[in-house]
Structure 1
Amino acid sequence: MCTPRDSAVLHAIFNPNAPFGDICEGEDNDAREEADLDSRFPADLLEAALALEQSGVKAAESGDVRTAVQKFTEAIAILPDRPSAYNNRAQALRLEGDETGALQDLNHAVELSRGAGIAGRQALVQRGLILRLKGNDEAARSDFQRAAQLGSGFARQQLVLLNPYAALCNRMLRDMVMKLQEPDIQEC
């Protein structure tokens, strides 16, 4: 059995684009945390909002983005203080090409979630991606750092992509370890 530090080193070697020490964690805590946050809403309203969100996701997956936006908007009308539907609608708005509307929804999701939990992490990552596409790398970096602190491995990868020196160091470390494992045999 290896130590957490050993796992981190091995992960860095075989995943050179991931920051050192980035080990994927389970999602059990995420599900519990989200359930705890959702417990503040009346059960009947939460159930209705969740059903609308699921319907919106199915519509988006089938290519009917307009219906998806409508379903997410209905879910927001039922529970306007729940950030998840804002995240989902932002994704659908991005698919429609409405980056301004998507950013507004993501800003609202970050505000409602206080930048915490699954919804906060997802909103920060999505907003970071849009900001990066718009060329605002500093604001994107800030969102990715906050999301990474909340456990987003994807945000950590984005931070590495924004810092090519970290990826280079990880690749050099991997190459060095590979050479140690399979040394070149010099013939005399």
Structure 2
Amino acid sequence: MANLTDKEVLNAIFNPLLPLGELVYEEDEDSLNRDENDEEESEQTNEAKQLEVAGVKLAETGDLPGALQLFSKAIEVAPSRASGYNNRAQTLRLLGKIDEAQTDLNNAINLSNGKGRAACQAYCQRGLLYLRNNSVDSAKADFEEASKLGSQFAKAQLVQMNPYAALCNKMLKSVFTKLQNGESTNEEDVTQGKQ
């Protein structure tokens, strides 16, 4: 199992535009799971969960129409569970039904009251749909909400959307790398972002 230092090193290699110390895909599990733990267990909820698991398995094998049917059935069984809408939205997106996917994501956010894993995933998915349609301000707003809920993916998207932050991070990384290697760092190198 990788320790925090190992994760930071890998993150710096694979995500050079992020600030040092920021990890990608290391979600804040406590904040994401808080509301799911409060979910009322019922026969309908358990059936919907089983349908969703089966739907995910079908989607992973490429049977998107079959997965769509199972996610729709899960929503029929437990219409107030946001998770079913998230899963169906992902499948709809893969089938090219973007407007329907967006409707499901809106439902997931509303049903979850903008809290927990379901809302976080819905904000991320909807943000990606907004980016696809060049609605940058709407995408940024959704990624900011997901980031507040603990999504490191959303944080990474926000950094990528901010070219000034990316340039500053690149320059800082260059300076820190030179300092660690015992190389000279003069003001001209810093202002020009030289490595």
For the structure 1 residues 87 and 115, does the alpha-carbon distance in structure 2 shift closer, same or farther, using more than 3 Å as the test? same
Which segment drifts farther, 23-32 or 141-150?
Answer: 23-32
> In 1, are the aligned partners of 2:48 and 2:77 still within 8 Å (CA)?
yes
1:18 to 2:18 alignment: yes
Q: How much does 1:167 deviate?
A: 1.4
**TM value normalised by structure 1:** 0.84
Match for residue 45 of structure 1?
44
With 133-142 and 25-34 compared, the bigger mean Cα shift is at 25-34
Structure 1 residues 19 and 116, CA gap change in structure 2 (3 angstroms): farther
TM-score under structure 2 normalisation?
0.82
Deviating more after overlay: 71-80 vs 25-34: 25-34
Q: CA deviation at 1:113?
A: 0.8
> How big is each residue's C-alpha offset from its partner over 1:79-127, in whole Å with a ceiling of 9 and x where there is no partner?
1011000000000001100001100000111111111100000000000
Of residues 34, 37, 54, the one that matches 2:36 is 34
Contact 1:12 1:174 in 2 (8 A): no
Aligned to 2:104: 105
1:17 is aligned with what amino acid? L
**Unpaired runs of at least 5, structure 1:** 1-8
Structure 1 position 13, deviation (Å)? 6.1
Structure 2 residue runs without a partner (length 5+): 1-7, 185-195
Aligned to 1:129: 128
Report the equivalent of 1:6. none
* 1:174 match: 173
The 10-residue stretch of structure 1 (11-20 or 44-53) with the greater mean CA deviation from structure 2: 11-20
CA shift in 2, pair 1:131/1:85, >3 Å: same
**CA–CA separation in structure 2 for the residues paired with 1:88 and 1:31:** 17
What is the percent sequence identity of the aligned residues? 45
On the 8 A contact 1:110/1:123 being kept in 2, the answer is yes
Which SS does the other structure have where 2:120 is aligned? helix
- Go from structure 1 to structure 2 and tell me whether the alpha carbon gap of 1:57 and 1:10 turns closer, same or farther (over 3 Å shift): closer
Instruction: Tell me which residue corresponds to 1:60.
Output: 59
| Residue matched to 1:154 | 153
Alpha-carbon offset, residue 22 of structure 1: 3.3
> 1:45 Cα shift?
1.2
- Cα distance change, pair 13–93 in 1 and its aligned pair in 2 (3 A): closer
- Bigger drift between 174-183 and 118-127 goes to 174-183
Preserved CA contact (<8 Å) 2:113 2:119 = yes
Residues 152/68 of structure 1: CA separation in 2 closer, same or farther (3 Å cut): same
1:86 matched residue in structure 2: 85
Structure with more relative contact order (C-alpha pairs < 8 Å, separation 6 or more): 1
Structure 1 residues 50, 13: CA separation in 2 closer, same or farther (over 3 Å shift)? closer
Report deviation, 1:171: 1.3
C-alpha displacement of 1:30 = 3.0
DSSP 3-state at the match of 1:141: helix
